[in-house]
Chains A and B, each alone.
Chain A
Amino acid sequence: DSGVTQTPKHLITATGQRVTLRCSPRSGDLSVYWYQQSLDQGLQFLIQYYNGEERAKGNILERFSAQQFPDLHSELNLSSLELGDSALYFCASSVGSKTEAFFGQGTRLTVV
């Protein structure tokens, strides 16, 4: 158990819909990261928050957004969903920069 909690574990939704994925980082970790793992793209970095502020942005679509709340949990919002958004979405957390990131179990999103 990494200490990073993601909910829900599975999500099935229709195209055009909007979903919210939730992540609780390990106790004491200020940084939260979101990654997408799809069959054809592998594990790709989406976005990082550090203590409530956006720190780095990767290949995140404009239809996707994230935020980190004062209690340090984070949410990833995916809107106008397309079939190609079906993937595993992982959240990770770390104490700070240049320290190992610990991953949650992931949320499997299926868009039908």
Chain B
Amino acid sequence: DQQVKQNSPSLSVQEGRISILNCDYTNSMFDYFLWYKKYPAEGPTFLISISSIKDKNEDGRFTVFLNKSAKHLSLHIVPSQPGDSAVYFCAASPNNAGNMLTFGGGTRLMVKP
């Protein structure tokens, strides 16, 4: 049972445009959500996080939106740059288990120059 799902395995966007990556979750115990970026043969790199008490968090070009009623979060990248091309993972942590992260399957973002 996949508790965190990223339904789009890949996304292609033109440089300068907005990239929107989506993530759905099923476990209502999740209260902390994170996005990671991963290049091949490297570890995931933390991008941005959001607590369930918020519905939006912004850091530079990256904004994460959380819709608790829909159990959905999204990552917006504006403007997209070729260097953003990577695999993006969303992850969620339950409120009763420290920082144990459940990861989605990832979305490969390709930003075309």
> A residues bordering B, Cβ < 8 Å?
2, 4, 31, 33, 35, 42-45, 48, 50, 55-56, 58, 90, 92, 94, 96-106
Contact A103 B99 (CB under 8 A): no
Q: Could you show 14 A-B contacts with beta carbons less than 8 Å apart?
A: A33-B101, A42-B106, A43-B91, A45-B101, A48-B99, A55-B98, A90-B43, A92-B43, A94-B99, A98-B93, A102-B46, A104-B43, A105-B42, A106-B43
- In the complex, whether B88 has a CB less than 8 A from a CB of chain A is no
With A42-B105, A42-B106, A43-B89 already in contact, the answer to whether A99 and B44 are too (CB < 8 A) is: no
Contacts of B34 in A (CB 8 A): 100-101
Q: Which of B68-106 contact A (CB under 8 A)?
A: 89, 91, 93, 97-106
Contacts of A94 in B (CB 8 A): 99
Q: Which of B20-36 contact A (CB under 8 A)?
A: 32, 34, 36
Partner of B97 from A4, A56, A99 at Cβ < 8 Å: A56
Least Cβ–Cβ distance between B36 and chain A, in angstroms: 8
Question: Interface of chain A, helix or strand or loop or mixed?
Answer: strand
Least Cβ–Cβ distance between B88 and chain A, in angstroms: 12
Contacts of A97 in B (CB 8 A): 98-99
Contact A101 B99 (CB under 8 A): yes
The number of residues on chain B lying at the interface, defined by a beta carbon within 8 Å of a beta carbon of chain A, is: 24
Contact A33 B106 (CB under 8 A): no
Closest 9 CB pairs of A and B: A103-B43, A43-B103, A100-B46, A97-B98, A56-B100, A103-B44, A56-B97, A55-B98, A105-B43
Contact A48 B103 (CB under 8 A): no
Q: In the complex, A61→B100 CA distance in Å?
A: 17
Q: In the complex, A94→B49 CA distance in Å?
A: 14
Contacts of B67 in A (CB 8 A): none
Q: Which of B93, B97, B101 has the most CB of A within 10 A?
A: B101
